[in-house]
Amino acid sequence: EDQVTQSPEALRLQEGESSSLNCSYTVSGLRGLFWYRQDPGKGPEFLFTLYSAGEEKEKERLKATLTKKESFLHITAPKPEDSATYLCAGGYNKLIFGAGTRLAVHP
Amino acid sequence: GAGVSQSPSNKVTEKGKDVELRCDPISGHTALYWYRQSLGQGLEFLIYFQGNSAPDKSGLPSDRFSAERTGGSVSTLTIQRTQQEDSAVYLCASSPRLAGNTGELFFGEGSRLTVL
pLDDT tens sequence across B19-50: 999 999 999 898 999 999 998 788 999 999 98
Question: CB B98 to CB A45 under 8 A?
Answer: no
Residue A20 clears pLDDT 80, i.e. is over it: yes
pLDDT score at B101: 67
Torsion angle, CA of A5/A61/A13/A103, rounded to 10 degrees?
-40
Rounded distance between C-alpha atoms, residue B83 and residue B65, angstroms: 11
- Whether residues B50 and A46 touch (CB distance < 8 A) is answered with no
Percent of chain B predicted with pLDDT > 70: 97
Name which of A31, A43, A94 is nearest B107 (Cβ-Cβ).
A43
Say whether pLDDT at B8 is over 90.
yes
Mean per-residue pLDDT, A12-25:
96
> At B84, is the secondary structure helix, strand, or coil?
helix
Choose among B44, B91, B98: nearest Cβ to A93: B98
Average pLDDT over residues B43-68: 94
Sequence-distant (6+) residues with CB within 8 A of B63 are: none
Residue contact B93–A43, C-beta within 8 A = yes
d(CA B41, CA B56): 22
Predicted confidence at residue A32, as pLDDT, reads 83
Query: What's the confidence (pLDDT) of residue A23?
Result: 96
Mean pLDDT, rounded, for A12-30: 90
What pLDDT does residue A30 have? 66
Nearest to A97 among B40, B42, B50 (CB): B42
Give the number of other CB atoms < 10 A from CB of residue B35. Answer: 25
- Rounded-to-integer distance, Cα B96 and Cα B24, Å: 14
* Pairwise pLDDT comparison (B39 vs A17), residue with the higher score: A17
pLDDT band at B106, cuts 50/70/90? very high
Least Cα separation, residue B14 to chain A (angstroms): 23
Give the largest CA-CA distance in chain B: 40
B1 confidence band (pLDDT: 50, 70, 90): low
Q: Which pLDDT value is given to residue A93?
A: 81
The better pLDDT of the pair A29, B82 is held by B82
Phi/psi for B100 (5° steps) reads: -60, -20
pLDDT at A73 over 60: yes
Nearest to A37 by CA among A66, A76, A77, A75: A75
